[in-house]
A = this chain, B = another copy of it.
Amino acid sequence: ITVPREIFTEPISLLVAAPPSDMHRHFGRLLSSGDGADVTFEVGGETFAVHRCVLAARSSVFMAELFGPMKENTDASVPIADMEAKVFKAMLHFIYTDSLPPMDDEQEVVVMAQHLLVAADTYNLERLKLLCVEKLCNHMDASTAATTLALAEQHSCRGLKDLCFKFLASPGNILKAVVANDGFEHVRRSCPSVLKELVAKLSP
């Protein structure tokens, strides 16, 4: 007997909704357990046992380095220069969980975000870069505005650069920033053009 399906349709009031995604928790556990890790990175005197395919899935640079035709001899361990171990560790946390590690200290947040922004640019981790920009925007103050401006210029973060300009448009903030540390000296040496740009912007 065939009955047309239409006549079956009686809406049920009890609808059920599944919980949100828990991939980040699963991969976070994979990172901390190290189960099945198949490559080791050496960074700043520390070693990190990780999973090639996870790094490759998340970063086109790691994909080329670990699986591409130009892949290096990565049977044993891969050294990484020019990065602190704690920055690499935080980057791994992002790669496996899609979030920044917890950071309590306000100053630590800014310094880590600055380092991670550079790492994100190096390994083409677009969303990590945006998370760092978010942190740097939301935690901007006079003690870090100048170095953040230099970073924004060097890593093509247009919105972050604009926000630095906006922050430094206040004479009070400029003065505090100059007094605070040698951030402007750093800008003057590393990217003098952006300093000229700032001066032009602030001139009447």
Task: Say which size band chain A's interface belongs to.
Answer: 35 or more
- Check if B130 sits within 8 Å of A18, measured CB to CB: yes
The reply to whether A56 and B30 form a contact with Cβ atoms under 8 Å apart is yes
In angstroms, Cα B74 to Cα A193, docked, is 59
Q: Is the CB of B36 within 8 A of A170?
A: no
Query: Which of B5, B131, B176 is the one whose CB lies under 8 Å from A141?
Result: B5
User: Taking the complex as formed, is A115 at the interface, i.e. its CB lies under 8 A from any CB of chain B?
Assistant: no
Q: Can you name the residue of chain B whose Cβ is closest to the Cβ of A59? A: B26
A74 to chain B, nearest CB (A): 12
Interface of A is mostly: helix
Contacts of A30 in B (CB 8 A): 53, 56-57
Name the B residues within 8 Å of A170 (CB-CB).
Answer: 10
A143 B57 Cβ-Cβ under 8 A: no
A1-37: CB near B (< 8 Å → 1, else 0) gives 1010101111010111111011110110110000111
The answer to whether A138 touches B98 (Cβ under 8 A) is: no
27 contacts between A and B (CB under 8 A): A3-B143, A5-B141, A5-B143, A8-B141, A8-B143, A10-B167, A10-B173, A14-B166, A16-B133, A16-B137, A16-B159, A16-B160, A18-B127, A21-B21, A21-B99, A21-B127, A23-B98, A26-B57, A29-B57, A30-B53, A30-B56, A30-B57, A35-B56, A35-B67, A36-B52, A36-B66, A36-B67
